[in-house]
Chains A and B, each alone.
Chain A
């Protein structure tokens, strides 16, 4: 593989796909200043995308009561609009790092969309938990998630009561959200955590669909969780204190750091980097500090460039770098690709989120689907999807290939690949060579990695 310039490596991981203006800006500001600008996502104006979403997918801004007020048939729009708004933001948003982290936390605090009220509650969770805190503190995120009606329903905490304890949320909170499976807790801790969260539920009355603590369902007995003593009568504070206690465990910082590194660096990230990122976690779980530690570390730039684009990243990335215009008919094409490749947004049923290892995604039919999609996209043959390929010098096959590689990948190819593609370009008239080579670049290994 040809060596990747640091700016390209950085943008490949901090965004879903690189546009020429992105790379120019990084080159002008330098990586640290660009990173700061992306971390301050609220300060980035993005009216084009937000207005489009407000107009086309308005239900992503609805409260639970507004959703409940919709006629039953109308409500089908809600989960569909959330998926499409998410895709739209991945492809077109100027707050690319925010979108990358939204995807990361959506998997960390995974909630399966396609089950009963989760179809509606996930819209609220996406907006008020994941998006609001994606670049804030892990502490806020954890507390917000614990009160999220979608999470309470998904992991059965809404039926976790003193008379009928349900350990589902407690177990996943320890295993997946904070300490990790080897984080040093016991079954006794799981039971105690479940007792601490009894009564955390969902309002069914005036504020239907919002968090509500039911004191009469809460187990008011004393509890001990990982050495933390919770005296009797703690009420809602039991759960709050458990969350903060978990936050303070080194295993939690370690788990989050490892996952971030696995997402943004490599399937098996170097230990030194994980430790450095974990050190930046701090008392509150400082997400920007962790991202600085990661993106500004030498290890980040020294790793092999083989972090696979998972299906969503492949789809969003290929549409982004081709500045694709997606019309109504194109929505079905996108949905079919994601279904076939097995990564519909919020479509992973288990609480651990979509896998993040090349081995899981590298399938025979998956590659065939990617290749057909790439060739169809660049060739303008996908219904309802119109790409805009980078302008290139078509007078010379080698220049054509180099120009398209620069415009779509932003780095050179290794000589063998350059040679193969130059031969393809040389064998075709220019008007066919451009889409063919562009399609092959999107189908090539270089674009399957980030």
Chain B
């Protein structure tokens, strides 16, 4: 209910602000019927996370065959005397990389779910093409320019209402948001127009009604004004975030969400560095540690709000099953997704495990994809974002049954 109240007020503010309408209208919009639900934070790990080194299939004997140098020992065993123990057992078959320790309580509390061998229908090994297609979420050869989140947002509301309904953290908005006027926020401290106060009024006058950019300019100036009024920077960021780009970005996402007047619904967040061709363990330990600590800090920061927040973590592809000669892994296929939130059926690994036996691998040595990532996101969209028009969001996908990841 708290969420509904929040939405009512937000909708009221947006409507009354945009068109000077009476509050009556805002109450006629029934939350849910407009397809609005949880706040979504969509975190994209750019570079191709090695799911096999993150949620480790220690119960698959071929894992140790394929990764003679890189494999992490089973739970309780140390690779060498004096080293920390092996992976953190999750279900007797999979285990967390030890650096994910901060996520273990969330997993055990049932708020964190893992989807293994998940991925895209397109098997390109190009990072950018894989990201592009995945974020577009339309694999028909002539898919338009919109992204899956942009389509979801457009189907469930009026473009740009409220101005900050869709936010992309960073200098530019994520491709997944294309098709809906999303606002890029590089930092809560320096968002907006730089210049003396009259600058906005002058620009408004320059971009007259008849100008094709009039609406975009109006939105930009509204965003500037609303942001300065809501001043999300005034709420100090939550405690415990790592002092890393990801940690600080999620701290800012927390600030934006707490500035309820902004009406943030969907936030795109990126974090890079996952392309671990060389010396993977040395690269992943700090990255995974940062990811886990940042997500845990966000969870703690949001507290009761997590009942109405869903976080999904995705990456463009997994990595080759066999390690390479430089103690790293090359681009592969099947990957890993995470879902975190108060309405996640967590404490489980959702995997129709394809197996790592040589004959079970995809192409020349990749983990196969047994769960199309759209199945996970489709369930999220319908169950948590209140939008059942899945054909509108993923136009060329015949959605199979849901996995039950979300309540």
Contact = CB atoms under 8 A, between A and B. Distances in A.
A363 B132 contact: no
A445 interface: yes
A114 interface: yes
B216 A362 contact: yes
Contact of B145 (A181, A355, A417): A355
Contact of B203 (A1, A115, A341, A371): A371
Contact of A368 (B173, B206, B223): B223
A444 B212 CA distance: 12
Contact of A375 (B185, B194, B208): B194
Contact of A350 (B132, B163, B183, B224): B132
Contacts of A251: none
A237 interface: no
B298 to A, nearest CB: 23
B199 interface: yes
B223 A364 contact: yes
B184 interface: yes
Interface string A343-387: 000000110000100101011111111011001100000000000
A339 B211 CA distance: 26
B267 to A, nearest CB: 14
Nearest to A347: B128
A367 B213 contact: yes
Given A114-B128, A115-B128, A349-B132, A364 B172 contact: no
A175 B145 CA distance: 17
A340 B184 contact: yes
Contacts of B195: 372, 375
A416 B208 contact: yes
A364 B219 contact: yes
Given A349-B131, A368-B192, A368-B193, A445 B126 contact: no
Contacts, number: 112
A147 B132 CA distance: 26
A355 B178 CA distance: 12
Contact of A363 (B131, B185, B208, B216): B216
Nearest to B127: A115
A417 B206 CA distance: 6
A350 B144 CA distance: 12
A445 B206 contact: yes
Q: How large is the interface on B (under 10, 10 to 19, 20 to 34, 35 or more residues)?
A: 35 or more
A181 B211 CA distance: 32
A362 B163 CA distance: 14
A364 B206 contact: no
Interface in B104-154: 126-129, 131-132, 141-142, 145
A112 B128 contact: yes
Contacts of A350: 129, 132
A157 to B, nearest CB: 15
B208 to A, nearest CB: 7
Contact of A371 (B127, B172, B193, B219): B193
A181 B142 contact: yes
A342 interface: yes
A84 B182 CA distance: 30
A448 interface: yes
- Of A175, A181, A342, A349, the most chain B CB neighbours within 10 A belong to A349
Interface string A113-153: 01100000000000000000000000000000000000000
A67 B170 CA distance: 34
Contacts of B224: 368
Given A360-B145, A444-B206, A367 B217 contact: yes
Interface in B189-239: 192-195, 198-199, 202-203, 205-208, 211-213, 215-217, 219-220, 223-224
Nearest to A424: B202
A349 B128 contact: yes
A375 B195 CA distance: 8
B213 A362 contact: yes
9 contacts: A308-B212, A339-B172, A358-B213, A365-B185, A368-B223, A371-B203, A417-B206, A420-B202, A445-B206
Given A358-B213, A362-B215, A365-B173, 10 more contacts: A115-B127, A340-B172, A341-B172, A363-B173, A363-B182, A364-B220, A367-B213, A368-B193, A416-B208, A420-B202
Q: List the 9 closest A-B pairs by CB distance, nearest first.
A: A340-B171, A365-B184, A349-B128, A362-B216, A367-B220, A349-B132, A420-B205, A444-B206, A364-B219
Interface of B: 126-129, 131-132, 141-142, 145, 160, 163, 168, 171-173, 178, 181-186, 192-195, 198-199, 202-203, 205-208, 211-213, 215-217, 219-220, 223-224
Interface of A: 1, 112, 114-115, 171, 175, 181, 306, 308, 336, 339-342, 349-350, 355, 358, 360, 362-369, 371-372, 375-376, 416-417, 420-421, 424, 440, 443-445, 448
